[in-house]
Structures are given as structure tokens and as C-alpha cells.
Structure 1
Amino acid sequence: MTEENPLKLTLEHYQRSLLVLESSSSSQLSEVHALDILMVRDRLQEIIDSHSQLPPDLLLEITKFDRRLKKRGELIAKLINLVEWRNLLKPDPEAWWWWFPTRWEKFDWLWNALSITAITISLSLIVDTSTRLLSAKPDTFSTLAVVGQSVMTLLAGGGALTKAGREALEKILIALSIPPRFWQEISCGLAWLLMLSLLGLNAGLPRIAVMMNQDGMEDIEAGRIETAAANFQRAIALKPDYAQAHLNLGMIYEELRDFERAIVQYEIASNIKPTNEAERQAVLQAYSNLSRRKILDQNYSVAASVILSGLDLIETEPNAASDPQPTYELLKNLGWTRLEQGRLEQAETILQDALKLEPQSGEAHCLLAETFAAQGNEAAAIASSRQCMAYADSLNPNEDALLGQAQERLQEISR
């Protein structure tokens, strides 16, 4: 037998196998037929590799046969589980005939691209969520949430992108008897499921912020000031535009006499555009508190600007008249500001308008008494001082000093 005989015999076997593959329907073919032609192609490749040079006519014939085999690649992939046979025989990656894709596998590039997209989005969500959860003092919930979502992303990312991850995922899928043609789709589905879960968590952060703010309010009632501040900080981290939490944190700082940080929180809250009634009330309260701090700091022009901005907000609200308290607070502070600026007529008018909204307001009566006294209207000052004594609360730091002035004025009259 000559040296070329093994090659010619193998080519003949290759040709016969191709004819069977091309002439038979898929129902007539078996796994044996598909495996036979692949192993014949293996033997042919061994002979080709053992020859330093082959005649051009034989090379052309082999090329034609290979084209015919490639046309039936999808059928072969359908007849046999190529993944299992590759794991068993360990063919050379260059042996393309062992790597025919199924109809489903032709779209593996699309599933991989979608997986990468989902994982990329998931990573950005983790960065955003983790930053917000950990920007305040971490607690058990925030730590577990960050760790949990990071582990899930690593698992999904490893399964979709790394060789070790894919191999681990394949073992699981094989154990579950899931056909290989669906593996890429499953990997993609897991990546998107993770992404949607993280989107849900991210979207739910504002609701968690509301719970944190409520916890902070309960802490205040129980006297746990530091814990309350931590809860308000967490609420702000989860929902940066949360006016109520900024306001509450500012009030905590003010109670701790950290006035600079209190002002910062009031300024942030007052610059938030409210989307509901609760937020509107918080923003207006922030305007009131901020203007009061500016008055106490003798920064009267800024105080007036803050108050007028708050009144503008009230004018844009159709239901503002149903709750006169915010308007009263701002008018009272504006009257106070004008009094300190020496604009006494304006102060009198504004304070009278405030008292129309809250006739039993001790602070407004006290301020009006000081305004009348500055105008030299003793009779009106005495009358307002009596109202101040009747309604003012000495437990209120702002009213206590004014109450003392009213008492002195009335005592002088009685002498």
C-alpha cells in the first residue's frame, strides 16, 4: 500500500459520510452518523499534518468536502451533544468541525453582549447604591445590602465573563440537565435578573429613607439625639433631596448649638422643590428656621431675602390658605427683621398681618410691643405688652427675652 492510500481511503470515507449526511433526512440520521463524520475528519487532519506537502488537487478536494460539511454543521450540532464530546475527546480548538453552533448558539454573541450590558449597568448601580448607603454612618442593614449585591454581581459577572465562572455555571447547568444550547440565554437571563433586582433596590431607596426619617423622629421623642442624627443622615444619603430629613437634621444641629451646620441643612432644604404637601411644609419650615438664624446672626438683608422666597412659594400653592401657620411664621420673622432694620412702619404693618393669621401668637405681640415702643407709642406698646404677657411662653427661647422686656415695661407703668 502506497503512502497516499491512507489519505485516499480516508477521503473516500469522508465523501461517503457526506453523501449519507446530505441525502438523508434528520429523522433518518443518528448520533453515530454525525460522530462518524467528525472522527473521519479528525483522521484526515492527522494525515494532512503528517505530510509536509500535499498535491494541490487533493487540497482542493478536501476544501470542497469541508464546505459541504460546514453546510450541515447545524444538523450535526442537533444530532449530538458537541459539548459533551468535546469534554471527552479534548479536540484541538483549531478543529472547527467539533465547534458547530446550533441554531440557538448562532446568537450567543447577542446574549453575551446583553449579559455584558446588564453587568455593566449592575456595577454602576452598585457603586451608586453603595456610595449612598455608606456615605452616612454604616449600620447592619447598609453593610449587608452592599455585601449582598456585590456578591451577586460577582457571581453573575463571573458566570458570564470569566472562564472559571463559565465552567462553574456549566457544571451546574449540566447537573440540572439543561441543554447546552440554552446556556448562554440562561447566563444572560441571570445577568438581567440581577440588574433588575438592583434597579428595584435603587428605586426603593427613597422609601427606605422615609423609614429612616421616621426612626429619627422616634429617637428624638425618646431622647436619643445622636441616634436620631445618624438616622437623618442615612435618610439624606439615600434620598439627597429629602427636605424633611434635612430640616430635622438642621433642628438637631441647632439643639446641639452647632449653628453653622444647622444653617447648611436649612439652606439645602429650602432649595428643594417640593412635590407634595409634606415636602412643602418642610421647605417652608426650613425657610422660617433659616431666616430666624440669620436674624439672630444680625444678617438682616439675607433674612429678608429668605423670607420673601418662602412667601413666594406660598403664593404659588393653591391650598396655602388652608394652613396659615407657615405664612404667619414668615410674616412674623419679616416683621422682626424690619424692626431690627429700623423700618418701623413696615414692621408694624407686617406684624399686624401676622396677628390676623394667629391672634394668640405671643411672639408677634411681643415684637409688636417693641415696634410701638421704638415708635414712641407708649399706649400701644403697653397694650401689646399685655398681650405678650398673656400669650408668650417663657420656655420658648425666642419669646423669653421679649417676655422679659414686656414685663419690665409693665412694671415701669405700675410704679
Structure 2
Amino acid sequence: MLDEAIELYHQKLGAFEVTSDVSDNEILSVLIARDRIQAGLNDITQISDEQLFKIIELDTRLKQQAHKIKQLAKLAEWRTNLNVPVTSWWWFLQTPSHPLDNFDWLWNALTIASLTSSLSLVIDISTRFLSGGAGFLSSFAVISQSVLTLLTVGGVLTEAGRKGVEQTLSRFGIKTYLWQETKFGLSALLLLSLICLKASLPEIAKYFNDRGLERYRASEWDNAISDYERAISLDPDNADVHYNLGRLYEQVRDVNKAQTEYRLAIRGNIAIAYNDLARLYLRENKPGEAISLLFKARDLEPQLEQRTLSEDQQILMYEIRKNRGWARFQQKRYADAQAELEDAIAKNISLKDINYPTYASAYCLLAQVLEKTGNPKKALVQWDLCNRYGNPRQPEEDEWMGIAEEKLNKGNK
């Protein structure tokens, strides 16, 4: 009878050892097989040495499976239901300790810290994507990182999740004493991926900014505003995007929003943003606010003194000088205004060749300055240039062109 019990024990244990995906029934059959061995050990004097050595060998192998059994089986529930005596040690299997297990508390703490940081990053990144409006890229980014984070958190913090993760680790042959370190590694990998995603937000914002520029040039202004706002939600400190959005708001005549965006853009020390904000102040007859911005714009572009300038630099130099002349005119400093405007016209006459649409402003302003200084005939020449080259899409030039027509009609009579 004992030989049969030993053989059954051997078979059940052997099958259990080679199977990674075991069931409760298989574990229970191994433990019951060991019960039958114990029933045959009532009189140890009647047991041969060979049988004893075999039982000891099998028990050693059973103890080596302690972690797998403890992980998968409901030992406490079974002990209660079957009224198992405390002397039946195989029903009370304890996982053998490893020196590295002494540091499990540290790895657990680091895992919790990593997951907490990951959740904070997920909330931050998701908020940035969603605040710019829904879209395929935004939805994909939010859903993918949220699902990945929830899976990692569930696998570490919930009972069902821990069992699933530990079963997976067991299938991959990872030793049990390395499980806590592995869980920390997974949480750290998640945290690192989220950090990399957050670090890439400025590049993603640049993509939306570039697309916004394309849509702006195609006069798709609503779509351009949407792209710029999404870019700002991803990278709030991107001065270029704030400037582009300000320019678009100015295009659609929303001056208050344009000023707000230009103010945000000048934090990035963009010279043209200083200039354009100053121009909006001049439209409101606020020369004091404008002049300081114009000198700041000039200080940010020291290369404008060079002889060889790009088209953008020529335009900016013209705009700064023209707007300074405008500011001095509003301050009734007519001599300074005339010098600035004549300098703007003289140094940027080549702007006609690059089809810049607002170079007539200096003529319009100079005509007004000449009238104030008692030179009506010279003013008529400038009014003619103002009317000839003016752009009615520019609010101030459209107004000045109307004045120019009146002046020219009177002068021709």
C-alpha cells in the first residue's frame, strides 16, 4: 500500500513540476497524495530505508514548489474546510527565503513611487492633449498611455493583477526572489516612457504650429486657430506659436486677443512680436507704451546694421523705423518723426521689389508730418505715394488712403 502511495505521490508531483499552468485540482491532488503517504507512516519501523529516502526526496521537491503552490492555491480555505491538523506541514507550505527578499520593502516602495509619478504625468499629459480639442492624435495619445498605466498599476497593486503578473514572470523563468525587482523595473520603464513623451511635447507642438501656418496661408483660419491652440496646450512657453496666433487674431480683427498673444510672445524675446504689439498700441494712440517696445525690438536685432539683410530683416527694419516715426508723430515730436520716416523709406525702398504689402504706411505718415510742419506741397507727393501703394486690407492704411484721396482731390482743383 505504501509503495502505491509513494508512486502516486511521485506521479502527481512530477506532473505538477513540469506544468506551468496548473489548476487547483492538480495542486489538491498532490497534497492529498502526500496525505496518503502520511497514513502509511504510522509504524515507521515497518518502512524500508529505500522507501524513507524516496519520501524525503519527494518532500524536498514539494517544498521547492512552495511558492507556486502558495501563489496559486487557496491553502487557508482548504485547511479550514478539510480540518487539516497543524502536523500536516505540506498544507502549511512556506516560501523559502532568499537574501534578496530582505530588500523587497525597498523595491515595493520604489514601485509605488514610480507608479504615483506615472499617474501624475498621465494626468498632466492627457490634460494638455485634451485642452487643445479632440482629435485622432490627441485621442490616441491619451488612450494609449492611460491603458498602459492602468495595466501596470493593476498588475502591481491589485490581487488579481499581482497573480497575473507573477504567473507571467513564472512562465518566463524569472526567479521568485527577483519578482519585486522586476515589478519595479516595469514601473520604472513606464515612468521613463512617460517622461520621454512629455519631453517630446515641444516637438509635437512644433508639428501643430507648422500645420497651423500652412492653414493660415491657405486662409483656413478656424483650423489654423485650432492647431495653434493645440500647440500652445502642449507647449505653453512656445513664443513662436503665441506670435503666430496673435498675427492670426489680428487678421480676423480680434485686437484684444492679438495683444494678449503678442504679450506672451515677447516673453521669448521675439523682436517682431515687440514691433507688432507696439503697432497695435499706436492704433489706440498709446505712443508711450509703443516706443519702449520698439526700442526693445531694435535692441534684439543688432544685425540690422549690416549691409546685407534678408527679406525678413529688411521688413522688420522698415517696420521698426516706421512705427517709431508713427510714435513720435503721435507725441508731436515732428522733427524726430520725419527723420525716422524718411530713414525708413530711404533704407527700405527695395521692399517694393519683394512685394511687401504695407510699405506705404511710411508715406502716409510722412504726409501727415509734413502737413503739421507747414509743407503742404511736399505732403501731396507723399499722399500720392500713400494712395498708390496703400493696402486697404490694413486698417490704418485704408483710413489713410481715404484721407489721401481727399487731399489729392483738393490739391488738383
TM-score after normalising by structure 1: 0.72
Task: Report the counterpart of residue 390 of structure 2 in structure 1.
Answer: 392
Q: Deviations over 1:78-103 (max 9, x none)?
A: x82431242458369x9998243213
Q: Does 1:328 align with 2:318?
A: yes
- Paired-residue identity, %: 35
> 2:237 is paired with a residue of what secondary structure?
coil
Residues 136-151 of structure 1: pairs in structure 2 closer than 5 A: 136-151=132-147
Q: Which moved more, 1:403-412 or 1:194-203?
A: 403-412
Task: Report the counterpart of residue 402 of structure 1 in structure 2.
Answer: 400
> 1:403 is paired with a residue of what secondary structure?
helix
Instruction: Measure the CA separation in 1 of the matches of 2:381 and 2:154.
Output: 80
Task: Report the counterpart of residue 298 of structure 2 in structure 1.
Answer: 311
Task: Report the counterpart of residue 258 of structure 1 in structure 2.
Answer: 254
Q: Does 1:216 align with 2:216?
A: no
Cα pair 1:362 1:387 within 8 Å, conserved:
yes
Task: Report the counterpart of residue 131 of structure 2 in structure 1.
Answer: 135
Select 1:246's aligned residue among 242, 248, 263: 242
When residues 327 and 320 of structure 1 are mapped into structure 2, their CA distance, relative to the original with a 3 A threshold, is farther
Instruction: Measure the CA separation in 1 of the matches of 2:364 and 2:162.
Output: 77
Q: Which moved more, 1:258-267 or 1:384-393?
A: 384-393
Please give the root-mean-square deviation of Cα atoms over the aligned residues, in Å: 3.0
Task: Report the counterpart of residue 178 of structure 1 in structure 2.
Answer: 174
| Code of the aligned partner of 1:257 | R
When residues 102 and 82 of structure 1 are mapped into structure 2, their CA distance, relative to the original with a 3 A threshold, is farther
Select 1:80's aligned residue among 64, 68, 73: 64
> 1:326 is paired with a residue of what secondary structure?
helix
When residues 319 and 134 of structure 1 are mapped into structure 2, their CA distance, relative to the original with a 3 A threshold, is farther
When residues 316 and 239 of structure 1 are mapped into structure 2, their CA distance, relative to the original with a 3 A threshold, is farther
Task: Report the counterpart of residue 286 of structure 1 in structure 2.
Answer: 273
Q: Deviations over 1:163-210 (max 9, x none)?
A: 332112112223334332222222111111111111111011111111
> 2:200 is paired with a residue of what secondary structure?
helix
TM-score after normalising by structure 2: 0.72
Runs of at least 5 residues in structure 2 that lack an aligned partner in the other structure:
1-33, 39-59, 80-85, 353-358
Q: Does 1:155 align with 2:134?
A: no
> 1:305 is paired with a residue of what secondary structure?
helix
Q: Does 1:90 align with 2:75?
A: yes
Cα pair 1:253 1:262 within 8 Å, conserved:
yes
Q: CA deviation at 1:269?
A: 0.8
Instruction: Measure the CA separation in 2 of the matches of 1:197 and 1:100.
Output: 35
| Code of the aligned partner of 1:235 | A
Instruction: Measure the CA separation in 2 of the matches of 1:104 and 1:319.
Output: 69
> 1:298 is paired with a residue of what secondary structure?
coil
Task: Report the counterpart of residue 340 of structure 2 in structure 1.
Answer: 350
When residues 151 and 203 of structure 1 are mapped into structure 2, their CA distance, relative to the original with a 3 A threshold, is same
Instruction: Measure the CA separation in 1 of the matches of 2:295 and 2:74.
Output: 82
Select 2:160's aligned residue among 157, 160, 164: 164
Residues 104-123 of structure 1: pairs in structure 2 closer than 5 A: 104-123=100-119
Q: Deviations over 1:274-294 (max 9, x none)?
A: xxxxxxxxx222222211211
Q: Deviations over 1:102-156 (max 9, x none)?
A: 1332332232222222212212211221221122222222122122212211221
Runs of at least 5 residues in structure 1 that lack an aligned partner in the other structure:
1-38, 44-75, 274-282
Select 1:297's aligned residue among 279, 284, 289: 284
Q: CA deviation at 1:265?
A: 0.8
Aligned residues: 332
Task: Report the counterpart of residue 207 of structure 1 in structure 2.
Answer: 203
Cα pair 1:160 1:188 within 8 Å, conserved:
no
Cα pair 1:287 1:310 within 8 Å, conserved:
yes
Select 1:125's aligned residue among 121, 125, 128: 121
Instruction: Measure the CA separation in 2 of the matches of 1:357 and 1:208.
Output: 40
Residues 4-43 of structure 1: pairs in structure 2 closer than 5 A: none
